Amino acid sequence: MVQKAKILLVDDRPENLLALEAILSALDQTLVRASSGEEALKALLTDDFAVILLDVQMPGMDGFETAAHIKRRERTRDIPIIFLTAINHGPHHTFRGYAAGAVDYISKPFDPWVLRAKVSVFVELYMKNCQLREQAALLRLQLEGGGKAALGEAKEPAGLLAELSARLAAVEEQAEALSKQLDDDSADAAAVATAAHLERKLTGLRRALDALEPGTGSGAPSVPSQS
């Protein structure tokens, strides 16, 4: 079963949170509410999130200050932040949002379809990264000689490598399709850069896996496996 991604919604007004939930419910992911910057930081201590929708104008700790705290923490610094604001203060205000670490800056009232589409891109990238980490963990277990126990089957090394290669190929195919979609839709530069980073990580993992296969990497001939 594929685990759902978590999306953090931060706004001090309950009606705004309700509206965001209505817009994003179609993505079928886990939506987590936070009514203040402090509450958002508390949620980020224990859970991993695919993306954060952060209101700028909040009493006490505003969106800029909250984002600064998020980016200072090693655990949360790479989580994409989309700023939401009801007031357009001009280029300087927008620049401050990007300087605080936002990947996007949307003024209210916003187009529900556009917001949902933007969030879905980061959710998909998050899911691909999760799959990549799973493949890397399996590969690491194989390198450490623990692959058989982790997979729960007494497979020969060649069988393990074939399974890992097939799983990695599936992720590579999905990542390639996502990159083409981003190119076609003229997506945000941040989303395109994240997708490119994912593809580079996949390429490195593929090279490491290929090096393990008999007859590759070291040039050693393939030998029959022994039971």
| pLDDT tens-place string over residues 99-117 | 666 778 888 788 899 899 9
Query: CATH assignment of 6-110?
Result: 3.40.50.2300
| pLDDT tens-place string over residues 14-33 | 999 999 999 999 999 999 99
Predicted local confidence at residue 226, as pLDDT? 41
**pLDDT band, residue 49 (cuts 50/70/90):** very high
Q: Domain segments of the chain: what residues?
A: 6-110, 116-212
Backbone φ/ψ region at 101: left (φ over 0), alpha (ψ -120 to 50), beta: left
pLDDT at 220 over 50: no
Give the torsion sign (CA, 151, 155, 161, 165): negative
| pLDDT tens-place string over residues 51-102 | 999 998 899 898 989 999 999 999 998 899 998 887 666 555 666 666 666 7
Average confidence score pLDDT of the chain: 77
Q: Examine domains 6-110 and 116-212 and report if their fold is the same.
A: no
Please tell me whether residue 104 adopts helix, strand or coil conformation.
Answer: strand
Instruction: Tell me which residue of 184, 190, 140, 139 sits closest to 165, measured CA to CA.
Output: 139
Which two structure tokens, joined as six digits, stand for 201?
A: 């990580």
Class of the CATH-defined domain 116-212: mainly alpha
Reported in sequence order, the residue ranges of the chain that DSSP labels E, i.e. its strands, are 6-10, 30-34, 51-55, 81-85, 104-107
Predicted local confidence at residue 219, as pLDDT? 41
Q: Angle at CA 41, nearest 5°, toward 39 and 47?
A: 100
Instruction: Tell me which residue of 190, 11, 188, 172 sits closest to 84, measured CA to CA.
Output: 11
Would the pTM count as exceeding 0.85?
no
Predicted local confidence at residue 15, as pLDDT? 94
Is 172 within 8 Å of 206 (Cβ atoms)?
A: yes
Q: Return the higher-pLDDT residue of 206 and 147.
A: 206
